[in-house]
Amino acid sequence: MAGDNAFSGPTSLDEAIIIGSAEEKPIMLNKNLFVFFTLLCIFLTLFGMLSEGELLAADGTPYNGPHNVPGIIQAEDFNSGPLKEAYYANTLGNSGGAYRTDTDVDIYNDGSNIYTLSTEKSIEDPPGSGHYGVYCWEFLKYTIEVGTAGWYKISYKAKYNKEGWGDISTSVDGFQRNYTNVFTQTTFTDVEGLKYIYLTAGTHILAVTFIHSGTCLDSISILSQTPPVFPSPQIVNSPQTTDEVVVANVVVTDSPFYADNTGITDCTAAIQNAINTAWEMGGGIVYMPPGKYRVEGTLWMSPGVTLRGDWKSPLEGGSGQGTILMAFSGKDNENAAGFIGTWEGCIRNLSIWYPDQHYSNGEIHKYPYTIVTYGCSYLLNLTLYNSYNGIDMRSGSFCDSDSGE
């Protein structure tokens, strides 16, 4: 394909395949355990410490509410009620000592803002292990009153007071759940939650869950939004896929994304915009047709989004065919951000190749991880031709891996 000679490194993908086979065998992830891990993830959701059943068991009563929508809700005005009904906290008592003293939610007043803080104490993960990670899974519930049925946007005024990142899960009446994209700001800023959610007129329960300890929330904004216009789902041509019909919500080479699949033009922004569009839809499949995609930056997979291409196992003659992402970011800096990060997403049916990696002449560059996963993320049918660091799988992520010739 065009673009092979535009970069230094192996003169062709075939060379990288041969080198990878001899020195660093390509990594392939297949679907043998995909159904099993899907069922496992569902089991964890249903029977985990904070299951959906527990979350919806009771909702408490409005505090300074119900809160009118559209409008802005102060974070500290969550529903009154007992632990595990109106709210959940990992520690007893209001450590901040502000505003409401009859609650276990930590509420602080810094002179400019009254805000809630997800506890500094993380949960034991897994229970009984003695290991405490960064997750806290605390939640607050709010009773809202929607005046007019229509489309709305939910956002948060939030910050994160620790190293790393914060993220917030949103649900309304137990449905339409989604996550914010991760945020690292240490001062209060607007963080987008659900960009598009349709609310019927009347009373609803808004539940806000803090994934990481150290997340600070000042207020919640629920404002009217113009109706969205999203691409229509379509059956796509995936030549290497013979065992299923591939349906996509978003195609990266279509309008308005126009990702270049000849390997010449950087298409980081085009692919990321396609991923973001699927996330705004509430989740969906982003399809990358066969070809080579030059990606000079990094990609972030939002929750509920699947990034898939066209793929065939190298063991079945699929070497160098299908959808190939050409990775360039993080060269000589293995501590940089991973090439693709995913939180509660899925990456499947594609290959990743580093054109600047020179195994043949002994010039080996240290790259960061090719894929970094968080939460219940899935990896399926992937070939990594010449990664220096392959996959960093965090808690709750699933794949089945084989090394291939």
pLDDT of residue 186: 79
Residue-wise pLDDT for 245-256, tens only, equals 999 999 999 999
Q: Which CATH number fits domain 4-30+229-403: 2.30.110, 2.60.120, 1.20.1740, 2.160.20?
A: 2.160.20
Residue-wise pLDDT for 299-348, tens only, equals 988 878 999 999 998 888 888 999 999 999 999 999 888 999 987 889 99
Task: Give the model's confidence band at 20: pLDDT under 50 very low, under 70 low, under 90 confident, else very high.
Answer: very low
CA gap 324, 385 in Å, rounded: 10
Mean pLDDT within 33-39: 51
Residue-wise pLDDT for 99-137, tens only, equals 998 898 989 998 888 887 776 554 444 445 444 344 567
Residues of the chain with CATH 2.60.120.260: 50-224
pLDDT of residue 74: 95
Q: Which CATH number fits domain 50-224: 2.60.120.260, 3.40.50.360, 3.40.50.720, 3.40.630.10?
A: 2.60.120.260
CA gap 271, 260 in Å, rounded: 10
> In angstroms, how far is CA 71 from the centroid of its own chain?
27
Residues of the chain with CATH 2.160.20: 4-30+229-403
CA gap 366, 336 in Å, rounded: 10
- Of 329 and 243, which is predicted with more confidence? 329
The CA distances from residue 359 to 11, 299, 318, in Å, are 12, 25, 21
SS (H, E, C) the chain: CCCHHHCCCCCCHHHHHHHHHHCCCCEEECCCCHHHHHHHHHHHHHHCCCCHHHHCCCCCECCCCCEEECEEEECCCCCECCECCCEECCCCCCCCCCCCCCCCCEEEECCCCEEEECCCCCCECCCCCCCECCEEEEEEEEEEEECCCEEEEEEEEEEECCCCCECEEEEECCEEEEECCCECCCCCEEEECCCCEEECCEEEEEEEEEEECCEEEEEEEEEECCCCCCCCCEECCCCCCCCCCCEECEECCCCCCCCCCEEEEECHHHHHHHHHHHHHCCCEEEECCCEEEEECCCEEECCCEEEECCCCCHHHCCCCCCEEEEECCCCCCCCCCCCEEEECCEEEEEEEECCCCECCCCECCCCCEEEEEECCCEEEEEEECCCCEEEEECCCCECCEEECC
pTM of the model: 0.69
Q: Which two tokens stand for residue 324?
A: 């190939």
Mean pLDDT, rounded, of the chain: 80
